[in-house]
Structure 1
Amino acid sequence: MRKALTGWLASGLMILGLGMMAPKMVHADAVKAVPLSVVPITNEYQVNKATMFYDLEMKPGQHTELQMKLINNGKSPLTVRVRDTATSTTDAGQIDYTNLSTRYDPTLKYPLPTLIKIPKQYQEIKMPAETTATYHLPLTMPKQQFAGIILGGIRVTPVVNQTVKRGIGNTYGYTVAVRLSNGIDQLPSLRLKQVSVGSAASGGAEVRANIQNPKANLLNKGTLAARVTKQGQNRTLKSLTLNSSSVAPNSNFTARVPWNGSIAPGDYTLHATYTSNDLKFADQKVWHFTKNFHVSTVQAARYTLSAMHIPWWAYAIMIAILLLLIVLIWLLLKRRKGAKPSASA
């Protein structure tokens, strides 16, 4: 199991541009402008010394240092920022090692940034031209023994001046994965937390299914198939498929089923199946989820209007016409009241 996981991390990080030698979203001009290299140094607690990331198995409460070599190959000084992150799962069903948010899943007991204390002087490093330096990042394991893994990354990003940033238009950086364990396995699992309806970024409605992995291990090689029906019926109204999905340990993500066009008020049902061929399991693992939800009349009207992409000026014209009608009605009523004949003596 550990061999399979190590292989996935090594290959997956390189594919995602998150490996220690693979810059994320590197533009050709960015390489010339920011000639940075990041090399992790093998730790004494390394499980597999051939891996290109920190994969440590330690005892509760043990201390160590993660050593990292930074190289400025350029002929100009360079300033870099160093941050540590806990892995999260994107709404597209992919593991993210670069998310700096501290809004963790409630089941994440030991976020990596609480275990690695990056010294203040390392958080923003000024490197002279054509220099190499090794930095030491203190790490302390949780005092309590835990099952599964703690997964995160160390993110190194150059501070690029505005002139260069406008020229490259991409975020340039390196993330080195960090995997910690006490040597006790735990299988990943999934559960459907909630289903709701919201506004899609492109307009209209979307059905949101929040799926959580409450266990301290990552889930690989997954496919999510979700569909929406009227409650009590089987005809598929809308659907979503996420292929090649992965879910980070102790994380959740929101699968968004797009609803193009108008949505009618009423009762609906979300049906979801997550299938994984992860080698952690003896056979293919399948989770089935079903949950009912309701769309109110107000929600349906709001999402239908947003799907029509009516420009702001059209709303302004409609409001102006409405106000004009109100004024006209008021004037007519006032005129009619003033035209009434007075009562005879």
Structure 2
Amino acid sequence: MKKASYLLVIVLCSFYLLAGWDSAVQADAAKAGETEIGYHIYAILPENQKNPDSSFFDLQMKPGQKQTIEVAVANTSVEDQTYTIEINPAYTNDQGFIDYSEKKETEEKQRELTIDHIATYEKKITVPKGQTEKVPITLTMPEEAYKGELLAGIKVSKVKKQTNQVGIANTYSYLLGLRLTESDQKIQRKIGVKKIEPTIAFGKASVAIDLINPVREAYGHLTYHVEIKNEETGKKINEKTYSGLQLAPVSTYHFSIDWDDEQLVAGNYQLVLTIEDKKDNQWTFHRNFAISPDAAKQVNTVVVQENRFPYQALLIGIVGLIIGAILIFCIIKWKNKRRTRRKL
């Protein structure tokens, strides 16, 4: 059995989009991470770095350009260590933030240009104790020019040696941002709705709206206001406002609206969703959707089962404690009797 538990020390998670992320927090996270895991990484910034004060790669590229960039891996531990390297294209996670921590196989990734398609690099390196090694990553830009930005995270992980027979291992990782652009030409932002369906999100009955960002630009500081009404009666069923969200370039966001611990009711509904950013863009969507009796029953049943108090497990635990206490009592009593007999 192998268990991977990640300590992601974010050198830069969402570039300039993460509200509230400051250099002090970043430095503390990096310091704490290095103390615990015995290594750190940093970008060796090339001449075409757009902002030399940034700690991540933000490169101005040209069509057909081939360039090798380097990531330094410093092993500060007292043992030789092996590290794995992977490049993860940006995606929008279920919480509504740009993420790079996993390699997501998405529909958009299969048909769109992403950094991992144009990058070649060694997937594993070994760094001697107390030494620093440079990891070369070769970027080969397509001949055809593109608009917008390509975002990814360079993930460096150290897998600790197995410490017991069951094979449990902890994986500690750093993420380093990588952004590629070919021009500063502005792109018209767009957002679309793909589908609406009942679902379970974070243990609650919900309705999910699949939102698509079809352009190569990251959106930040998004505010969502959603209102759902019964189509027949016009009664307001649900209303929510979310702020500070993000969308990765060319990605789908599974935007879930929870039902406030209520069960889903089959019927026809009207949805009005308004999305705003900090650049005076606004998108409003009016959609009708239906929740079938079967879908409502399926979601509600699973939610009830997941949230049901585990009485059976609690009962088994209590019985186990009682039996254990009785056994201990009997053993102590038996030992005391033996001592008494010996004295006689």
**TM-score above 0.5:** yes
What is the SS of the residue equivalent to 1:44? coil
Deviations along 1:174-226, one digit per CA (max 9) or x if unpaired, are 111111111033233211111111244525x3101011110111111111122
Residue 36 of structure 1, aligned match among 28, 35, 39: 39
Partners of 2:158 and 2:171 within 8 A in 1 = no
TM-score (norm 2): 0.75
Verify the 8 A CA contact 1:65 1:138 in the aligned structure 2: yes
Are the equivalent residues in 2 in contact too, given 1:222–1:243 (CA < 8 A)? yes
Deviations 1:112-167 (A, max 9, x none): 1001111xxx3121111100112211101121111111111211111123449x9x
Distance 1:16 1:195, change over 3 A: farther
> Is 2:68 the counterpart of 1:56?
no
Q: Is the 8 A contact 1:21 1:174 kept in 2?
A: no
Contact 2:198 2:296 in 1 (8 A): no
CA displacement 1:44-86 (0-9 Å, x = unmatched): 2212222211111121110001111110111122221110011
Secondary structure of the residue aligned to 2:134 is strand
Q: SS of the counterpart of 2:108?
A: coil
Asked if 1:117 is matched to 2:120, the reply is yes
1:85 aligned onto 2:91: no
User: Is 2:222–2:275's contact at 8 Å kept on the other side of the alignment?
Assistant: yes
Structure 1 pair 258/76, CA: closer, same or farther in 2 (3 Å)? same
Question: Which residue is 2:140 aligned to?
Answer: 140
- Residue 90 of structure 1 deviates from its aligned partner by 1.1
Matches of 1:295 and 1:12 in 2, distance apart? 35
Q: Name the structure 2 match of 1:301.
A: 297
> What whole-Å deviation, never above 9, does each CA across 1:216-253 have from its counterpart, x for those lacking one?
11111111122321115543312333321111111110
Counterpart of 2:282 in structure 1 is 286
Q: Does 1:256 align with 2:262?
A: no
Contact conserved, 1:217 with 1:249, CA < 8 A, in 2?
A: yes
Structure 1 residue 14: deviation in Å?
A: 9.1
Deviation, 1:107, is 8.8
Task: Quote the Cα distance in structure 1 between the aligned partners of 2:68 and 2:40.
Answer: 20
The two structures have a TM-score, normalised by structure 1, of 0.75
Q: Identity, % of aligned pairs?
A: 22
CA distance in 2, matches of 1:14, 1:63: 36
| CA pair 242-11 structure 1, distance change in 2 beyond 3 A | closer
Aligned match of 1:327? none
| CA–CA separation in structure 1 for the residues paired with 2:28 and 2:175 | 8
1:195 aligns with 2:201: no
Q: Distance in 2 between matches of 1:89 and 1:265?
A: 29
Q: Deviations over 1:269-315 (max 9, x none)?
A: 222111111xxx3xx2211112111111222333333343387999x
In structure 2, relative to structure 1, the CA distance for the partners of 1:241 and 1:22 (3 Å cut) is: farther
Higher mean C-alpha displacement, 105-114 vs 38-47? 105-114
> What SS is found at the alignment partner of 1:256?
strand
Equivalent pair of 1:21/1:37 in contact (CA under 8 Å): no
Match of 1:105, SS? Answer: helix
**Which residue number in structure 2 is paired with residue 276 of structure 1?**
277
C-alpha distance in structure 2 between counterparts of 1:170 and 1:185, whole Å: 43
> For the Cα contact (< 8 Å) 1:188–1:218, is it kept in 2?
no
Q: 1:308 to 1:104 in 2, by over 3 A?
A: closer
- Amino acid in the other structure paired with 1:105: E
- Cα separation, 2, equivalents of 1:180 and 1:250: 14
Amino acid in the other structure paired with 1:197: P
Q: CA deviation at 1:262?
A: 2.5
Q: Secondary structure at the match of 2:18?
A: helix
User: Any gaps of 5 or more consecutive residues in structure 1?
Assistant: 1-5, 315-345
| Structure-2 change in CA distance of 1:171 and 1:287 (3 Å) | farther
d(CA) in 1 for partners of 2:17, 2:27? 12
Q: Which whole-Å CA distance do the structure 2 matches of 1:313 and 1:51 have between them?
A: 50
Conserved in 1, the CA contact under 8 Å of 2:199 and 2:208?
yes
SS at match of 2:209: strand
More moved, 300-309 vs 150-159:
300-309
The equivalent residue for 2:211 is 211
- DSSP 3-state at the match of 1:187: coil
| Structure-to-structure mapping, 1:228-239, within 5 angstroms | 228-231=228-231, 233-239=233-239
Root-mean-square deviation over aligned CA pairs? 3.3
Could you tell me which amino acid in structure 2 is paired with residue 90 of structure 1? N
Q: Any gaps of 5 or more consecutive residues in structure 2?
A: 1-11, 312-344
Aligned residues: 293
Quick check: 1:227–1:271 contact (8 Å CA) kept in 2? Answer: yes
